[in-house]
Chains A and B, each alone.
Chain A
Amino acid sequence: MIRFVTIRLLRAVITVLAVMTFAFVVLRMSGDPAEVLLGPDVPQTVIDAFRKQWGLDAPLWQQYLSYIGAIFSGDFGLSMRDRSPAIQLVMERVPATLQLTIPALLLKLGIGIPAGVYAALHRDSAVDRGVIFLAILGFTIPSFVMGLVLVLIFAVTLGVLPSGGFGSWQHAILPAITISIGGIGILARFSRSAMTEVLGQPYIRTASAKGVKWRDVVRGHALPNAAVPIVTIVGFMVGSLIAGAVVVETIFSWPGIGRLLIVSVSNRDLAVVQCILLLIAAVMVVSNLIVDLLYGWLDPRLRA
């Protein structure tokens, strides 16, 4: 067990390091923060001074090493825009994002899994076909289209919900639903196929043959087996609690991490972007870790 956890932790650290390196390289190669931030017409001396001030004049490998070193000593750098600590800017935005993604996650779980399980239990019925159809619709329509359609219906035509902005809980409804729809579709499809597969297994027939009521066969024998693949997908969804709202936050002008990311990327605000990517990677890695541990708990065959 200790070995298992150690290996996973090591892998997690390596993953985070890889993400950091990747972000660092891509950001440095895709544009000069000095030019973006200062504008096109500033004299070369100003640009040079700016570069020197932010350490951008050093060779790339030196910049990289000092960046990694700083992170490990808990220093995430300053925003180039207003010199406030990047970590603070990012953390301020986390609650707003979670206000959308947590309700969205609950919707995904609460609707997607029951719909998929029900469809699997009533294979080839009208309900099953309906679920498949809606699920495909749900995850093929891009979220910006879905968001605009919902705004058109509920904000513009019916006028019952705000079309964007931040403030009351009503403001969160449309963006949260928009985020959830793709995930509901994916989870419904996935739960359906996981459950269908399990229901065809010999041990389900064994349970029926020993006289277990069908309802208890489903609850006690089928669902615990179907949980293993479903948990994988749910793990991905938990992992995207921070990153999953970028597009939707932009559509609904929601002041979360996603908006901050987009603004910071276009400004080449290196420290902030790196900090966000690090946070996203950390959340994904942690949720993967939890999923790995859950696997062992759910399926004794996977215990190390």
Chain B
Amino acid sequence: MANLVEIRDLRVAFDGVPVLHGVDLEVAPGEALGLVGESGCGKSVTWLAALGLLPSKASVTGRVQLGETDLTGAPQSALETVRGGRIAMIFQDPSSALNPVLKIGRQLCEALRLHRGLTGAAAKTEALRLMDLVGIPDARGRFRLYPHEFSGGQCQRLMIAMALAGEPDLLIADEPTTALDATIQAQILDLLARLRAEMNMATVFISHDLGAVAQVCERVCVMYAGRIVEQGSVGQLFEHPRHPYTRGLFDALPRLFGPRTALVPIPGTVPDPRNLPGGCAFQPRCAHAQPFCQSALPDLLPQRDGRKLACAYPLPERGQGGERQAAREGVFQ
């Protein structure tokens, strides 16, 4: 089946400082893809660049193929129909993502007018239906309220309703639950999972929260310092991470079930994009790094089990046993 979106060699630089170093990514129709990685690794920038939403000081190269169109070269007018119409995006802090001086109803109806040509009573009916759908109680009574009259969780529901207004093929949810408290997070995740199933809409779920990713997604991409370092099904990555960075993310995660183990944070911090280490960007923080890692950058290569991996000395494949020193398989395969 053809991919819905194909990102090829996407590079972004701010004022000459590269922050994305050639990202390749595809999203299949209806699929739920997770995008994880520490703060600053380029998760948001990838999709803001794809939709042409970065400030003009950002230089973007590469291809973002949506059907027949390449979004990176597309004129504004083409981008405007894609945004919200074919690809919708919701953001981290829902309370500040809605315009504080416009009524909720008006903000919803604007999206309906732009992408579905609905106005007046028809738009209002549809907006009320969407508010219902995302679980806003008493939609009719709250249609004329302003964003500050809703809770954070409800604002995110409204953002989702607004995103659904254009009946998009793909919803990018950029850390949609980070600003919310735990119970509300779970409700929003449920809502996203339910809507995706009902509307057969692909979802890219950007998150720090691996648990949430496991709950919502089928496939995961792990990003580090502007590159994808490992990519595979949720099962593959969660049960058997092979990139030391992916493994590090899991070790830093508290476990709800099973034996209590000490949390092991990844040592060090994300490198500054202006000052990347030579070779593999993760090498200074990596417990498995070899001298080779300082000299060469591993490519993202397909592995036998279908995942993709960018590491010269990855953790051993399942069944290869123990802590045997891995061969430099990643580079040569």
Contact = CB atoms under 8 A, between A and B. Distances in A.
A92 interface: no
A202 B115 contact: no
Interface in B67-125: 76, 80-85, 88-89, 91, 93, 96-102, 110-111, 114-115
Contacts of B34: none
Contacts, number: 74
Interface in A52-99: none
Contact of A224 (B81, B85, B88, B102): B102
Nearest to A122: B56
B51 A203 contact: no
Nearest to A227: B101
A300 B150 CA distance: 13
B162 interface: yes
Contact of B84 (A205, A210, A214): A210
Interface residues of B, number: 31
Contact of B111 (A210, A220, A299, A301): A210
Given A221-B102, A301-B146, A211 B81 contact: yes
Contact of A208 (B83, B98, B162): B83
Q: Specify the main secondary structure of chain A where it touches its partner.
A: helix
B53 interface: yes
A207 to B, nearest CB: 7
B92 to A, nearest CB: 8
A264 to B, nearest CB: 45
Contact of B97 (A203, A224, A299, A300): A203
Given A202-B93, A225-B101, A210 B110 contact: yes
Contacts of B81: 211
A209 B53 contact: yes
A202 B101 contact: no
Q: Report which residue of A201, A208, A225 has the largest number of chain B beta carbons within 10 angstroms of its beta carbon.
A: A208
Q: Report which residue of A201, A211, A299 has the largest number of chain B beta carbons within 10 angstroms of its beta carbon.
A: A211
A298 interface: yes
Nearest to A203: B99
Contacts of A298: 101
Contacts of A213: 76, 80
Contacts of A299: 100-101
Contacts of B99: 203, 206-207, 221, 225
B166 interface: yes
Contacts of A224: 101-102
Nearest to B54: A205
Interface of A: 201-203, 205-214, 220-221, 224-225, 298-301
18 contacts: A201-B96, A202-B91, A202-B93, A203-B97, A203-B99, A205-B53, A206-B162, A207-B99, A209-B51, A209-B53, A209-B84, A211-B80, A213-B76, A214-B76, A220-B102, A225-B99, A301-B146, A301-B148
Given A211-B82, A225-B99, 5 more contacts: A208-B53, A210-B163, A211-B80, A211-B166, A224-B101
